Structure 1
Amino acid sequence: MVTVDDRPDMEAAHLRVAELVQGLHARPDADSETVIAELAEHAAVEIPGAQYAGITVTRDAKHIETPAATHHWPLLLDKIQQRHLEGPCLTAAWDEKTVHVADLETDERFPNYRRDALTETPIRSIMAFQLFIAGQTIGALNVYSEQPDVFGPESRTLGLIFAAHSSVAFNSARRDEQFRRALTSRDIIGQAKGMIMERYGVDAVQAFELLRKLSQDSNVPLAKVAADLVATAQSPSPS
């Protein structure tokens, strides 16, 4: 339970999380991989009781990836979840907002995961928070400790706030990446159209139709066809 004496510390932690996310948003070079890696690092520091942190993502509850981890143990634990298709992080991602394993020695919810995690890692307590990632991908922000019973109400409160901020930051970074890729594709297609118009004396609509037909006939995305044409045109001619 958060006491009156704890509130200033919690408020300061909330502010640090908010400032972290604002800082990531303000950085023009912060791609989604950088954002998620930095969020994991800060989660391991800020969430009370955490020694390690990791991000678990999955598209269909069967294929698990770990785009960020502060140590080898989160990576190995996700491999164990992949092996058995069960575990607290997978459950948090798909079924529950938060999953708390106070003591892996006694928790019986994930028997196969529990057996291998106890055998292969020193991790004894886990708290996993669902991430709301846009699209078909589901995720969880997870914190771990080698000691049992270290995650309390403060950990849960700050973890939920961290997960909410992480979801916003990660989704924003991915949208920025998609927007930049779209702009790049548009520019490349424009260059290819200009080359076709100049070479064959056609207008913009006819040039685009030619690109589209090349894409359909070769079963290659239109942006890739355009990029290949531009690259070929820019390659030095053999002497």
Structure 2
Amino acid sequence: MTAEQHPTADAFARLAVELHDTDGVGETVEAVVQFAVQALSCRYAGVVLNEHGRKLSIASVTAPVICELYNLQLEAAEGPLMTCLETRGPVWVDDVAAEERWSPEWSRLADSIGIRSILHLPLTSAERPVGVLSFFSEQRSGFGPDDLAVGHILARHASIAVANARNEETMAQAVDARKLVGQAMGILMERFDLDGDRAFEVLRRYSQDSNTKLRDVAQELIDTRKLPRAGGAAARQ
């Protein structure tokens, strides 16, 4: 490793520690985009995430103007961002003004913002698409092979960090849901003189009949100390 590469390696080491210490997906992607601007010396950066395998959402940007560019592509289902998501490969736009692969509206908007070149890299976890990490430069040919290599490293760090943050949030939600259901069961057991199995069955049946998540049914019972009529009837059966 050359002397010039040492700062980059050290910076990635610090980023790995910082991502490990972040709390939640929001803080994770915010740390990624802030580091991205420094790592590739670009003007803007952003992250779009794939929510639940279908819905796409803008997770973090370093400037509001990037939201405009993202939203145009998300609404039209066309553009370099969408191509990156579909192909799960890097999309490199060396000169926005000369680009003809996508609609003119996209290139005009990018040009009006002052963006001249773009690099989109896929975020993946266990071969599943997580989202896209984007870099935006005010210079034509703003990204070279070295930038692509550094971007790939950052994308890998980001993919792992986002996947871990999502897993932690899911586990936290599961623990919270179990606590809520347990409290709701206790209310039913006391009010209707039910055992644990019967109390859970009441919650489950109302959840199915009303097409409401079990967690939400439990929360409603805890908040109001009342079970809707359908649930009350079930409790007395």
1:191 equivalent in alignment to 2:183: yes
Q: Match of 2:229?
A: none
Q: Which deviates further from its counterpart, 145-154 or 76-85?
A: 76-85
Task: Give the alignment of 1:1-239 within 5 angstroms.
Answer: 7-27=2-22, 30-47=23-40, 49-58=41-50, 64-132=56-124, 138-233=130-225
Percent identity of equivalent pairs:
30
Q: Deviation at 1:159?
A: 0.3
Which sections of structure 1, spanning at least 5 residues, go unmatched? Answer: 235-239
Report Cα offsets for 1:102-145 as digits up to 9, x if no partner.
Answer: 11122322243554235532100101111115797641100001
For the 8 Å contact 2:97–2:111, the answer to whether it is kept is no
Q: Deviation at 1:99?
A: 1.2
Change (3 A) 1:110 1:154: same
Report Cα offsets for 1:182-207 as digits up to 9, x if no partner.
Answer: 10000010111112112222211111
Which sections of structure 2, spanning at least 5 residues, go unmatched? Answer: 227-237
d(CA) in 1 for partners of 2:17, 2:119: 25
- Matched to 1:108, the amino acid is E
Q: Deviation at 1:62?
A: 9.2
Change (3 A) 1:182 1:96: closer
Change (3 A) 1:210 1:134: farther
d(CA) in 1 for partners of 2:111, 2:10: 39
- Matched to 2:7, the amino acid is A
What's the TM-score, normalizing by structure 2?
Answer: 0.85
Report Cα offsets for 1:50-109 as digits up to 9, x if no partner.
Answer: 111011235699965321100123212112213442222221222142111111122322
Aligned residue pairs, count: 226
RMSD: 2.6
d(CA) in 1 for partners of 2:165, 2:187: 33
Change (3 A) 1:121 1:59: same
- Matched to 1:33, the amino acid is G
- Matched to 1:40, the amino acid is V
For the 8 Å contact 1:130–1:141, the answer to whether it is kept is yes
d(CA) in 2 for partners of 1:60, 1:179: 15
What's the TM-score, normalizing by structure 1?
Answer: 0.84
Q: Which deviates further from its counterpart, 111-120 or 94-103?
A: 111-120
Q: Which deviates further from its counterpart, 224-233 or 162-171?
A: 224-233
Structure with more contact order per residue of length (Cα contacts < 8 Å, sep ≥ 6)? 1
Report Cα offsets for 1:16-73 as digits up to 9, x if no partner.
Answer: 223223223234xx111111122111111112x4111011235699965321100123
d(CA) in 1 for partners of 2:175, 2:54: 34
